[in-house]
Structure 1
């Protein structure tokens, strides 16, 4: 396209073209173009340039070309114009306050009559894709780091929770004084879940829900969170339509955005001036609609908009606020995970997040895929617990010694016999020495052979062996490994474990481990088949 434009302009220099023909050619250029006199003042702007800069920036004859350029690029462009535009130059075009700048490639083409055509090729889409690729690499790197941190922290939290629970059981008088330790562990576990959320490695449990009903159900909690100085205004408009999301994660999105709005509005706001508006609606996108940080793909969407009347987000920071660990309130205890978590949940749910901000208003626009099915009923209350199961002989494998010992104590108090092993290799040595457990409980991530390989080795000897896998990673992050899915370029992976093992995420309380064991199929009642 650019080659065709340059060829057309060469024709205007070599052939006599009537003024009307030149103007017709000029107006039809697909790139933004400005016709300048020798003093670099505007004679005419083509429709493409009007579209690029928007209606709020007037392009009147006599306007200096410098007004077309953003402040950060203006000096360099004026120097470039003064030297007759030797070669192309990248610059940001002027934009109304609060709108994202447009990066353009500028070229200057002289005409025989002394005028010049300034061509502006929009590079924003190219720059956006480049930034998306870089952000994707950052997210993958942080996701890997978060996954490793989550596993290690969950190990430590499991030890703390197990030890505190057992201390409370042994000495009931200490229950109240030990409760803060359990509360702190719960907050730590929530922080780990947020790490996994923005890394998009958490387990979702989606259900079909009525969007308006889901928002209304959160209203009392949100009003309590916002306090009396900030008014909550609900504006339902989804007309009973439904989305398929994890209701708990949708609640988390609303809580995070409400907390962010409360902090943004700040304590200096006078009574009655703070307002948080949550609106729902529908949208039909016929083509991809640009936005920050996400574009909205074509399709039918339900929209959830959360708008506050805080001071707004500076334009220079708007593109960074969903970056993990980026915060403007570090001194006030901000972690930089709130909006990153929102973005991770929305994207993992198949949606898109778009943020708009100007002084006095910030809007978070969440688009979720519209679901045409019926809303799913609230899950029924779980049935009464079954009678106490028969005792088992459990092989417990975990490289975290304190957690392994505490788990063994809980299982033994429940009536089970427990044999401990610090790693998979030790477990296999015990089996080869004649150990005959009827249940395997193993951590997945261990030095040397991992828990999945150990489970496969024991299932090869006893296909019906009940197995519980425990891990600091969410089950969703282990889906490929549990299913035996092949990795790209590595051929088929090992076959999936069938029957599928039970899964227990860390951190867990001893009672949760005991309950998971109780819910397993009954012990097979015969020993493992030794290898030949």
Structure 2
């Protein structure tokens, strides 16, 4: 028995000759326990032994028999093509000869032993896809969880780095170290952009969705894209009328279009054509698109199609994976398409790609239609201190202190200094519990609450809720590296403003001023 086991192990690892398949009960036990359909083939590709799963897949109209040629499993009109693919060592999808049998994936592993040709694996296509997609989904979920988990700490570090440089630069805009400080801030900004891409993939970035007219958004990008694509790429923009409206962060929609367009440009080094079009779709029943299911509903559709060389079939299922790139030597990070996928999915939409070698690539995005009117254009934000540190806000005279809560000591000190320079009186705490204790011991009622969301113990949301029991009209500004959706709350309905990390100190001051009611704080 020990010798038989060693022989079987060697065979399973692709080494040595298997035990005699017709009489070895151990081999039959292994075959029967296997979930895919398996058959052992002789040197002429005739079936020697098989498991019950293969008999089930073949169906009752195709009884298997010893010595039966493997080719008889496959529909007659594709036998030559299937045999060629298997001989080349490739996996191939095929139809079985039996009526009503499912489509299957076939692959064969040669054993190269006298009298034994190899082992054939037969798996229904649906099961093969479920397994592959489940594994891919698990991998992506793991990376997404990692990205979301590290974002908070990275954003705290980047806020501290950029804030310290910003504060030093504000004190001496033309000092000897000003060039180095600006470089620090620029590097921190690049780090923040990278974290933002990770959060986009993880669907946890802070979005500010608005109802936008899709045609107008695409048309507005046309001029910019023509300059970026260069003269070798012919850009065509086709806008279906009447136009549809969608609810999405306009900046992130621009990023989606930009990323897809630049990706298409890189796929056409010798030039070509790029088509960006809008349309609509009415989905009456669930539809499979790529590796996802498009649910019923009314959608606005955005297409981006190029005439490049296309994507190899073996690479196509992986293009939305983070860090996967075929242009590593040219500086590719593998985050462009994963960012696009994350933005689309976080906005409630779906994306799919189809491509053929030599025939180009087409991305299609379905975004839920919005029937209400488009929101008015957002007012441009004031320039942040990161680019204009010499523009210091006018100091204010306040009637009460701002309660500032942050568990990271460097960030607490930076924010306190910025608010103090802006004229606010500041009461600081390192946790929600400490803040409540200060108030219980007689600290004055706060003018407003500025708090981090993620902290040991009670979080910023719980602190805001506790303080609103004492003062229902208390203005609240929360800072976080996570999106509002990731927090699981409708902050707008709760009259809570969210400032994404990393933030500039001037942004912190401006956001606080924006939530204060008239008369609570005045410019001195």
- Give the TM-score normalised by the residue count of structure 1: 0.69
Match for 1:182 among 171, 180, 185? 185
| Partner SS for 1:265 | coil
Please say if 1:505 is aligned against 2:500: yes
* Equivalent in 450, 460, 473 of residue 459 of structure 2: 450
Secondary structure of 2:454's match?
coil
State the alpha-carbon separation in 2 of the partners of residues 299 and 315 from structure 1.
30
Aligned equivalents of 1:523, 1:370: Cα separation in 2: 38
Residues 163, 414 of structure 2: 8 Å contact kept? yes
Partner of 1:166: 167
Separation in 1 of the partners of 2:131 and 2:509? 50
Tell me what 2:337 maps to.
339
For the residue of structure 2 that corresponds to 1:228, the secondary structure is coil
**Residue 518 of structure 1, aligned match among 505, 513, 518:** 513
The structure-2 alpha-carbon separation of the partners of 1:121 and 1:288, relative to structure 1 and needing over 3 Å to count, comes to: farther
| Residue pairs, 1:64-83, within 5 angstroms | 65-68=79-82, 71-72=85-86
Q: CA deviation at 1:523?
A: 10
- Counterparts of 2:444 and 2:165 in 1: how far apart (Å)? 32
What CA distance in whole angstroms lies between the structure 2 residues aligned with 1:32 and 1:367? Answer: 43
Please give the per-residue CA displacement for 1:422-463, whole angstroms capped at 9, x wherever unaligned: 333433443344322513322222233333333344444444
1 CA distance for matches of 2:404 and 2:333?
Answer: 36
- Counterparts of 1:81-100 in structure 2, within 5 Å, are 92-93=92-93
State the match for 1:110 in structure 2.
Answer: none
Note if contact 2:238-2:278 (Cα within 8 Å) is conserved in structure 1.
yes
Q: Is the 8 A contact 1:352 1:366 kept in 2?
A: yes
Q: Bigger shift: 366-375 or 337-346? A: 366-375
Name structure 1 gaps, 5 residues minimum: 1-28, 50-58, 77-90, 96-101, 107-119, 484-496, 526-532
**Local SS of the residue matching 1:137:** helix
1:263-298 deviations in Å (ceiling 9; x for gaps)? 2334xx2xxx33322223333444444332334444
Q: Is the 8 A contact 1:425 1:449 kept in 2?
A: yes
Aligned ranges for residues 356-435 of structure 1 at < 5 Å? 356-360=354-358, 361-379=360-378, 388=396, 390-435=398-443
Q: CA RMSD in A?
A: 4.0
Secondary structure of 1:173's counterpart equals coil
* Aligned partner of residue 301 in structure 1, secondary structure: strand
Measured after TM superposition, the shift of residue 176 of structure 1 is 5.8
1:263-278 correspondence to structure 2 within 5 Å: 263-266=266-269, 269=270, 273-278=271-276
How far residue 318 of structure 1 moved from its aligned partner, in angstroms, is 0.7
SS class of match (1:454): helix
- Aligned runs of 1:277-296 on 2, under 5 Å? 277-296=275-294
Partner Cα distance (2:86, 2:241) in 1:
42
Asked whether the equivalents of residues 31 and 122 of structure 1 are also in contact (C-alpha less than 8 Å), the reply is no
Decide whether aligned partners of structure 1 residues 203 and 332 sit closer, same or farther in structure 2, where only a CA change above 3 A counts.
same
Provide the C-alpha distance between the structure 1 equivalents of 2:60 and 2:123, rounded to a whole number of angstroms: 8
Provide closer, same or farther for how the CA distance between residues 73 and 256 of structure 1 changes in structure 2, counting only shifts above 3 A: farther
Tell me the CA shift for residue 417 of structure 1.
1.9
Q: Distance in 2 between matches of 1:248 and 1:128?
A: 35
Cα distance in 1 for partners of 2:517, 2:508 equals: 16
Match of 2:304 in 1: 306
TM-score by length of 2: 0.70
Indicate how the Cα distance of structure 1 residues 93 and 134 shifts in structure 2: closer, same or farther if over 3 A, else same.
Answer: closer
| Separation in 2, partners of 1:419, 1:209 | 40
Q: What's the secondary structure of 1:315's corresponding residue?
A: coil
Instruction: Note the C-alpha offset of 1:232.
Output: 1.9
What is the CA-CA distance between 1:254 and the residue it aligns to?
A: 0.7
Change (3 A) 1:33 1:260: farther
Residues 448 and 240 (structure 1 numbering): CA distance in 2 closer, same or farther, change over 3 Å? Answer: closer
Aligned-pair CA distance for 1:214:
1.8
- What does residue range 206-355 of structure 1 map to in structure 2 within 5 Å? 206-237=209-240, 239-266=242-269, 269=270, 273-355=271-353
What is the Cα deviation at residue 387 of structure 1? Answer: 10
Aligned to 1:155, the other structure's residue is in SS state helix
- Identify if the C-alpha distance between structure 1 residues 72 and 295 changes in structure 2 by more than 3 Å, giving closer, same or farther: farther
For residue 200 of structure 1, the aligned residue among 200, 203, 209 is: 203
CA distance in structure 1 between the partners assigned to 2:141 and 2:442 by the alignment: 45
The answer to whether the 8 A contact 2:396-2:424 is kept is no
Query: Following TM superposition, by how much is the alpha carbon of 1:129 offset from its aligned partner in structure 2, in angstroms?
Result: 3.4
| Residues 207, 484 of structure 2: 8 Å contact kept | no
SS of the residue 1:357 aligns to? strand
Q: Secondary structure at the match of 1:290?
A: strand
* SS of equivalent to 2:212: strand
Query: 3-state SS of the aligned residue for 1:355?
Result: strand
Answer yes or no: is the 8 Å Cα contact 1:468–1:502 preserved in 2. yes
State the aligned residue count. Answer: 429
2:94–2:104: 8 Å Cα contact kept in structure 1? Answer: no
- Quote the residue 1:142 is aligned against: 143
2:314 aligns to what SS in structure 1? helix
Structure 1 residues 242, 432: CA separation in 2 closer, same or farther (over 3 Å shift)? closer
How far is the alpha carbon of 1:94 from its aligned partner? 5.3
Secondary structure of the residue aligned to 2:289 is coil
Deviation at 1:155, TM superposition (A): 0.9
- 1:71-121 per-position Cα deviation (integer Å, ceiling 9, x unaligned): 258879xxxxxxxxxxxxxx73259xxxxxx64489xxxxxxxxxxxxx99
Unaligned runs of 5+ in 2: 1-56, 96-102, 108-120, 383-392
Q: SS of 2:292's equivalent?
A: coil
Distance apart, 1:251 and its partner CA:
0.9
